[in-house]
Structure 1
Amino acid sequence: MAVEIKDQLYLKAVDELDAFCKRLDEKIDKEQQQLKACKKKTEFETKLAHEMKLNKDLTDRLAELSRRGNELDRVCASFESCLTIADSDKTRLDNAKEAYQLAKELTGIRLDFSAPSHIAKGYIKSEYHKQLHPFEIDMSTADSNALWNLLNTVVGSERIHNDENRPIN
């Protein structure tokens, strides 16, 4: 019987120890979950602080760019109010455009206006040969008639061919 009492005490102690271990495991799990939640919260707070700083920086930049844009608009408006074309200049510009279009159609010359001012660059359109004859002439060193001579060479050969094919009246 003494053995039975010892066994009962032993079983009771084991049961109490198991219950204690179970409560301890539950408490540890709960603490670990709280710790994970705390870490996530800290991580989110850090990200939030970083995003808020980034938002503030971008807002400041946007305000600066907006201010500069307004300043540029003001400067452009002041320039636009100063820039007006006189009627005589407008008439001269229109006349020059018409003369250029007419010369372009009559001669077949197409100029490249992106070339430097001392370089005459472009091509001559040959209707007869169905070709483009490119040219680039340095006007500071070339003869003043160099472009006309080139035009005469290209277009002159067309006239000869056209004259040969033209019926005699």
Structure 2
Amino acid sequence: MDGEDVEEPPLTLFGLIRTLTAPATAPHLVGFLAVVIALFVTVGNVRELETEVAAAFVGMGMSYAAVAGMADHATFRRWVVAEKGSSPWTFVTVLILPLAVGAVLSGVLLMIVDAAGLRTALPVALAALFVAWSIGQGRSFRSAIVRWPTPAVAPSPRSSSR
């Protein structure tokens, strides 16, 4: 394997959707979607909770970043991935660790922000993080498209001759 190039399948929108909705990852997608909807409804109805909701978004984002990074380890993987043939209860239990870590991180972040007197700055910081994330995603998709050209996005003959 030293020096061998591993062929990766082309990156497609359908491939991404298939990965997100796979039985192993679908519980996280559904759970995260439920949390996001609940937070959105909360901040829409109760104006005084903007800082708490921002802390929850940041905490959950950090939690899922950590989960994604550690899911390659076999021991950790059993806690967060619903393997094929698992009981239906597993689809709920795989959410416990990321949600618990997200709640703890949200609480710690909120305590730090409160202690520093920066309650109004946290929602602005969250917006800045979203902009940074969007830029990162755009760059990631651009490099993926360049790396794995498909007929739909392959350069036209005119543009390559310039």
Q: Give the TM-score normalised by structure 1.
A: 0.19
Q: Which has the higher contact order (CA 8 A, sep 6+)?
A: 2
Q: Give the TM-score normalised by structure 2.
A: 0.20
**Whose strand fraction is larger, Structure 1's or Structure 2's?**
1
